[in-house]
Chain A
Amino acid sequence: MTLRASIFTKLAGYGYVTVGGAVLIAALFAFVFIKGGYLLTVMQLAMIYGVFCVGLNFFMGYTGQASFGQNAFAAIGGYGTAILCVEYGFEPVLALLASMALAGIASVVVGYPTLRLRGHYLAMATFALGLITYDLSVQWTSLTQGYMGYAGIPPLGIGPFTVEDERAKLVCLMVILVIGLWISGRLRSSRFGRALRAISATEQGAAALGIRVSQYKLAAFVIAALYASAAGSLFAHVVGFISPEVFGLQMVVVTFTMLYVGGIGTVLGPAIGAVVASLLPQIVRSTGRFQDIAYALVLLLLLIYVPKGLSALAGIGRLRPAESSTGAADRSESAATCHEPRKRATGS
């Protein structure tokens, strides 16, 4: 086999869509780097949302639970890092880690009683958590400065090294997102991740295998809170300003969209969704006053025709090993006897 043929075979093993998608993403980043300007900011925010969504995916994707309140932990991250840096002169990285620890503790305190609820009740309880946090960030002006928000938050950095250049910020955020994805991927295929996915399929079935369902749900909730807090802190350091609106209901809607567009329950889906859902408004901007309609239409089409998310397209065009000898008809019948992960509509 020639070198060229061997390379083609290897690439085909990944699937043409995967290879094409990777090339497209690389080209996109190259374009953003060269062009700079507003697109750099959009991509920076996409990376931050990506971090948030990777965490949310632990709870909603891998574990199959519903949470409308993760913005609360992003707020803890954002305000925590802002207050620690501006008021107490903390190093940004130290403030980020301290805020994550605080969000982790808060998530245990909130999650322990809340996660006894299931389905719609859990969704409503977490929704209330998000609303309470928003109200607190507005009303507790002595701490949060209310609607005025917090300004003058220093950029990310350690000691004398600060990340102030916009391109450097994007690289830094990309590295953080890749680390977040790597952790997510490793955990998903670990004993811990298998237990989460078993819970997503059937809580009773998981318990029957010895899995402590409530403990694992809480762990997934805490991990999601840690990621959300990190995303909130990163937003504060990258933008330099936070206000209650940043962590409001809009954040819940946007991150849900990202998760479903990219592919909930997959490793790369949240990051893909974050990039696509962030860029989409820029792409449809040319439609002028119809841009909101165009945006909604594209999202609808994506959800209808790619219901498992864009990351599900990755398998298309992949060279598969020879089909097994058992009949396809038999398989289609047998598929009905397995626990599929619950439909992840909100509140399911």
Chain B
Amino acid sequence: MPALIEVVGLSASYGHIAALKPVDLRVEEGEFVTVLGPNGAGKTTLLRAMSRLIASEGKVKFKGRDISALATHHLAKLGIIMVQEGRGLFGEMTVQENLLLGAYGLGHSTDEIERRFAQVFGLFPNLRERTGQVAASMSGGEQQMLAVGRALMAGPKLLMLDEPSLGLAPKVAAGILNTLGELNRNGLGILLVEQKAPLALKLARRVYVLSSGSVRAELPAHEIKSHHDLARFYFH
């Protein structure tokens, strides 16, 4: 059975600087995979290259289909949705408008949009009370909920998140990550990029460790503690 997403020899550079050296990575159907790495390791570049937001070389396959040449907007239609670093919300728009933009691919299918609203509000009840509020005026935690909620409105098959816990209080970050865990248990494939997140490791089945644009290690999440050098870095 082909992987949900498979990356083969994906590389990207900014000018002469190679931010991502040929990287191989895969996420199986319904799998939770975490990519760890320090600042400047190439984690964001990896997600941006996979989403075709930057030019890259190499192959990306989605359920066995080569999607390397597809434009970004096509990927969203396939169900590959990314929550960007810094949330990427439309600050001047309301919560409702942001969520509706998430459901953009549904066209005018009102019933399906309503169903997804109900799903998102079920996961993040705070958003229900703030539908008319402008996104920029919300707290950081609420914004992250909205970012994930907007991604869910698109009905993703693979959800890619770039450091969703960044800048959040530990309790709020844990709440967001636990919700991701719940979504994964319901069958959603998740590729999570984090700098240092013990909870993300608890949720993940497999972990890739990225450094200087290359994959340094690929291992089951529960084994990371047995690698003393990695454990020291990511658990302390």
Within 8 A of B (CB), among A192-210: 194-195, 197-198, 201-202, 204-210
**When the two chains form their complex, are residues A207 and B82 in contact, meaning their CB atoms are under 8 A apart?**
no
**When the two chains form their complex, are residues B104 and A209 in contact, meaning their CB atoms are under 8 A apart?**
yes
Instruction: Judge whether B97 is part of the interface by a CB distance below 8 angstroms.
Output: yes
Query: How many A-B contacts at CB < 8 Å in the complex?
Result: 108
Please, which residues of chain B bring their CB within 8 A of the CB of A213?
A: 73
What is the distance, in angstroms, from A265's C-beta to the closest C-beta of chain B? 8
Please, which residues of chain B bring their CB within 8 A of the CB of A201?
A: 90-92
Please, which residues of chain B bring their CB within 8 A of the CB of A165?
A: none
The stretch that binds A, out of B136-144, B199-207, B211-219, is: B136-144
Q: State whether A191 and B76 are in contact (beta carbons under 8 Å apart), knowing that A331-B139, A334-B140, A335-B137 are contacts in the complex.
A: no
A191, B108: Cα distance in complex, Å: 8
Within 8 A of B (CB), among A201-236: 201-202, 204-213
**When the two chains form their complex, are residues B76 and A338 in contact, meaning their CB atoms are under 8 A apart?**
no
Please, which residues of chain B bring their CB within 8 A of the CB of A340?
A: 91-92, 136
Please, which residues of chain A bring their CB within 8 A of the CB of B82?
A: 208
A206, B90: Cα distance in complex, Å: 9
A112, B37: Cα distance in complex, Å: 42
How many B residues face the partner with a CB closer than 8 A?
A: 40
How many A residues face the partner with a CB closer than 8 A?
A: 30
Please, which residues of chain A bring their CB within 8 A of the CB of B91?
A: 201, 335, 338-340
Instruction: Judge whether A87 is part of the interface by a CB distance below 8 angstroms.
Output: no
Q: State whether A195 and B73 are in contact (beta carbons under 8 Å apart), knowing that A337-B87, A338-B91, A338-B143 are contacts in the complex.
A: no
Instruction: Judge whether B18 is part of the interface by a CB distance below 8 angstroms.
Output: no
The stretch that binds B, out of A32-40, A102-110, A245-253, A322-330, is: A322-330
Please, which residues of chain A bring their CB within 8 A of the CB of B77?
A: 210
Please, which residues of chain A bring their CB within 8 A of the CB of B75?
A: 208
Please, which residues of chain A bring their CB within 8 A of the CB of B230?
A: none
Please, which residues of chain B bring their CB within 8 A of the CB of A195?
A: 101, 104
Please, which residues of chain A bring their CB within 8 A of the CB of B143?
A: 334, 337-338
Instruction: Judge whether B8 is part of the interface by a CB distance below 8 angstroms.
Output: no
Please, which residues of chain A bring their CB within 8 A of the CB of B135?
A: 338
- Chain A residue at smallest Cβ distance from B83: A208
Instruction: Judge whether B105 is part of the interface by a CB distance below 8 angstroms.
Output: yes
- Chain B residue at smallest Cβ distance from A334: B140
Within 8 A of B (CB), among A272-331: 324, 326-327, 330-331
Q: Can you spell out 18 A-B residue pairs with CB atoms less than 8 angstroms apart? A: A191-B108, A197-B90, A198-B93, A205-B84, A205-B90, A208-B72, A208-B75, A210-B76, A324-B133, A326-B142, A327-B139, A334-B136, A334-B142, A335-B136, A337-B86, A338-B87, A338-B91, A339-B90
